Homo-oligomer: A and B are copies of this chain.
Amino acid sequence: MNKQIDIQLSANRKEKPSFSSLKFGKTYTDHMFIMDYSRENGWHDPRIVPYQPITLDPAATIFHYGQTVFEGLKAYISENEEVFLFRPDENIKRLNRSSVRMCIPEVEEELALEALKKLVSIDRDWIPNQEGMSLYIRPFIISTEANLDVTPSQTYKFMIIMSPVGSFYKEGMSPVKIAVESEYVRAVRGGTGNAKTAGNYAGAMIVQEIANAEGYSQVLWLDGKENKYIEEVGSMNVFFKINGEVVTPGLSGSILEGITRKSVIELLQHWGVPVSERKISIEELYDAHQNGQLEEAFGSGTAAVISPIGELSWKNEKMVINDGKTGELTMKVYKALTGIQTGKEEDPFGWRVKVD
């Protein structure tokens, strides 16, 4: 079986959009990576081809039973034009963990990393070089067998597409308002919450729509069993600075193991800031706020990197945090992470991976 990445370059390069007016995830680069899986041949025929539509049987199981996993990471370009990926090995490992949960065959880590690097390198002039911008990379796997029986597909496609994204913080970093959800549930232990798979996001859309309509930018989920413990935000993990200590919900099995989350924890430990991963109930958070001990709150995720939380609304209570302003530690974490990502700062942890 061919395991060399075959490259077929596009004859018609697209015109690049104005990077400063980019909307998230609407513009795609010139090329994409694709690789097929069959029971007989395993993963085979890895190739980079011009970005193009895909054709599937209407009975392909992806359309009916949603057997799919995905990842999200970014490529950054430094001031001296070096291109970096941030901890891509972690994304590939998480992709494989998600795949195990969803009965999808794992991909070879080395090959996947090579594919990421090659694709980014070929489309490197799509990486916006302005402050805060980057190239968003979306690896994903879909089940493709035409079969209405509810059983794992015998064939799959692994693809990588890329999209240049503008800055999350065009007008400077401004804290968001988040609604604590106490009716709908995103995931429950024993379910698929810790896999990065479509169904988790589809189910959350209605709640996100309601929150948006009420003026909140995101939803903070509580656990599915007791509706009590804090889990995570739409596509971010959460951190709270309470009385000098940083607290983040532990990996309960129902939240995503964020790579930004992991990096924040490692960074805080490195700095000697007390940080603990544990259960934290919404009541505990509310009490901390009432006592004036809830000092800062922020979300962590690939898209925004760090997103300060200025207000949490829970039932009829509004908790304004740090006067609705970005906290000092929040800003320090943001600067440190983006500094490492974009090559502005030293990388003591070896998180950057250079693309030639």
Q: List 7 A-B contacts (CB under 8 A).
A: A51-B58, A58-B161, A62-B62, A150-B201, A191-B224, A199-B199, A224-B225
A192/B188 in contact, CB under 8 A: no
Is residue A113 within 8 Å, beta carbon to beta carbon, of the partner chain? no
Determine the residue in chain B with the shortest Cβ distance to A163.
B148
| B-chain residues with CB within 8 Å of residue A323 when the two chains form the complex | none
> In the complex the two chains form, what is the Cα distance from A148 to B73 in whole Å?
13
Is residue A206 within 8 Å, beta carbon to beta carbon, of the partner chain? yes
B58/A32 in contact, CB under 8 A: yes
Chain B: minimal CB distance from A164 (Å) = 11
| B-chain residues with CB within 8 Å of residue A68 when the two chains form the complex | 63-64, 66, 202
| CB-CB under 8 A for A191 and B209, given A62-B63, A63-B140 | no
Is residue A173 within 8 Å, beta carbon to beta carbon, of the partner chain? no
Q: Which of A18-26, A124-132, A240-248, A334-342 contacts B (4 or more CB under 8 A)?
A: A18-26
| CB-CB under 8 A for A65 and B148, given A58-B53, A58-B159, A188-B224 | no
CB proximity to B under 8 Å, residues A137-175: 138, 140, 142, 146-152, 159, 161, 163
CB proximity to B under 8 Å, residues A311-333: none
- The number of residues on chain A lying at the interface, defined by a beta carbon within 8 Å of a beta carbon of chain B, is 68
Is residue A84 within 8 Å, beta carbon to beta carbon, of the partner chain? no
CB proximity to B under 8 Å, residues A219-267: 224-227, 234-235
B206/A148 in contact, CB under 8 A: no
Chain B: minimal CB distance from A199 (Å) = 2
Determine the residue in chain B with the shortest Cβ distance to A136.
B148
A152/B102 in contact, CB under 8 A: no
| CB-CB under 8 A for A65 and B190, given A25-B59, A53-B56, A151-B208 | no
| B-chain residues with CB within 8 Å of residue A200 when the two chains form the complex | 199
Chain B: minimal CB distance from A277 (Å) = 23
- Across the interface, A202 reaches (CB within 8 A) one of B32, B66, B206, namely B66
A63/B188 in contact, CB under 8 A: no
Question: Closest 7 CB pairs between A and B?
Answer: A199-B199, A25-B148, A66-B198, A185-B190, A65-B201, A66-B202, A188-B188
> In the complex the two chains form, what is the Cα distance from A288 to B67 in whole Å?
38
Chain B: minimal CB distance from A306 (Å) = 19
- Across the interface, A102 reaches (CB within 8 A) one of B28, B192, B202, B227, namely B202
| B-chain residues with CB within 8 Å of residue A67 when the two chains form the complex | 202, 205
| B-chain residues with CB within 8 Å of residue A185 when the two chains form the complex | 188-191
Determine the residue in chain B with the shortest Cβ distance to A207.
B190
A199/B59 in contact, CB under 8 A: no
> In the complex the two chains form, what is the Cα distance from A161 to B202 in whole Å?
23
B64/A57 in contact, CB under 8 A: no
Is residue A183 within 8 Å, beta carbon to beta carbon, of the partner chain? yes
Is residue A103 within 8 Å, beta carbon to beta carbon, of the partner chain? yes
Is residue A300 within 8 Å, beta carbon to beta carbon, of the partner chain? no
| CB-CB under 8 A for A149 and B202, given A56-B54, A185-B191, A188-B191 | no
